[in-house]
Amino acid sequence: MPFLKRTAFPSAMQAVLLFAALLLCEFIAGAALRDANGLLGLDDLQIGVLSTVMGNGFVFVVVMNFQKLTYRRLFHRSRNSARATLMFVVPPTLLLVPALLLTITAVVNLMVRVVPPSAWEESLFSRLADGSIAAMLAVCVVAPVLEEMLFRGIVLRGFLRRYSRSQAMVMSALLFGAAHLNIYQFVVGFVLGMVLAWLYERTHSLIPCIALHATYNGTTLLLGDRLGVAPPSRLVWAIVAASAAAVCGLLALRAVLVPRATS
């Protein structure tokens, strides 16, 4: 067992190299798509989405063959059925979204006041929130599925075999935040990554992780900047409602996922 722990893939350094390889694959795929864009007629965001899918596809094929891991095993290796997870874990998980959204938005808004985003970062955020079909697919479908497959399904899965539970969760969340390549999304990624890491560690399933990730991204895209300009009275009620929903969600998750001590 100690030998298996030391050799479990990936280590922290291997995870960083894996992400670097993913960026390289996405860069090569994006360059190839731009060279062929005279025939394809894609815009920058569409090229970005396709290059992400192609780069991730190549990395997953290599890693999963190396690990002898099936997609079914990657997505759901719990003793409980996927249907039970969908019915009993996903609904209370989604109750956490409003509180996460309010908390993270408040922190990011404070950061923006202290450290204003660069022109490149503002351009990136505006492209991702432009309401186009490509942006919605990128933010609500492609990112949640592919990022959960990589950061929870492969990275955290290996970390939990190699390191202690707390080390694995913190390191995977740090890597998830750093992967967004800007300080604002690093904060979002780290906070969300800790919650997602706890969910995965408890369920051994990507189903609730993808559901939470996609719902959070979709709600952010839907609300846009409206949270930051809400009247104080409405904001107070939103905080009360979000807190109540989070408490209900956590109690339900505790009942389902946290084992009771036996006497």
Q: How does residue 252 score in pLDDT terms, banded at 50, 70 and 90?
A: very high
Write out pLDDT tens, residues 102-125. 999 888 888 888 888 888 777 777
Tokens 């100690």 belong to 2
Higher pLDDT, 235 or 249: 249
Percent of the chain whose pLDDT exceeds 70: 90
- Is the CB of residue 63 less than 8 Å from the CB of residue 157? no
> What angle, 0 to 180 degrees and rounded to 10, lies between the N-to-C axes of helices 44-67 and 12-35?
140
pLDDT tens digits, one per residue of 157-169: 999 999 999 999 9
Q: What span, in angstroms and rounded, lies between the C-alpha atoms of 20 and 14? A: 10
Instruction: Reply yes or no on whether the pLDDT at 253 is more than 50.
Output: yes
Which has the higher per-residue pLDDT, 37 or 61?
61
The share of the chain scoring above pLDDT 90, in percent, equals: 49
How confident is the model over 226-237, as pLDDT tens digits? 655 556 667 788
Q: Is the pLDDT of residue 97 over 60?
A: yes
**Domain limits of the chain?**
78-257
Whole-number Å distance between alpha carbons of 137 and 48: 11
Q: Which of 87, 91, 95, 210 is nearest to 141 (CA)?
A: 210
Type of residue found at 53: V
Give yes or no for residue 100 having a pLDDT over 60. Answer: yes
169-199 pLDDT, tens digit per residue, is 999 999 999 988 888 889 999 999 999 999 9
Residue 172, beta-bridge partner list: none
What are 205's strand-pairing partners?
76
CB 257 within 8 Å of CB 89? yes
Angle at 71 between CA 66 and CA 75, to 5 degrees: 120
| Side-chain-side CA neighbours of residue 74 (13 Å) | 22
Residue-level pLDDT at 98: 94
Length of the chain: 263
Asked if 214 and 144 touch (Cβ cutoff 8 Å), the reply is yes
Backbone region of residue 69 per phi and psi (left: phi > 0; alpha: psi in -120 to 50; beta: other values): beta
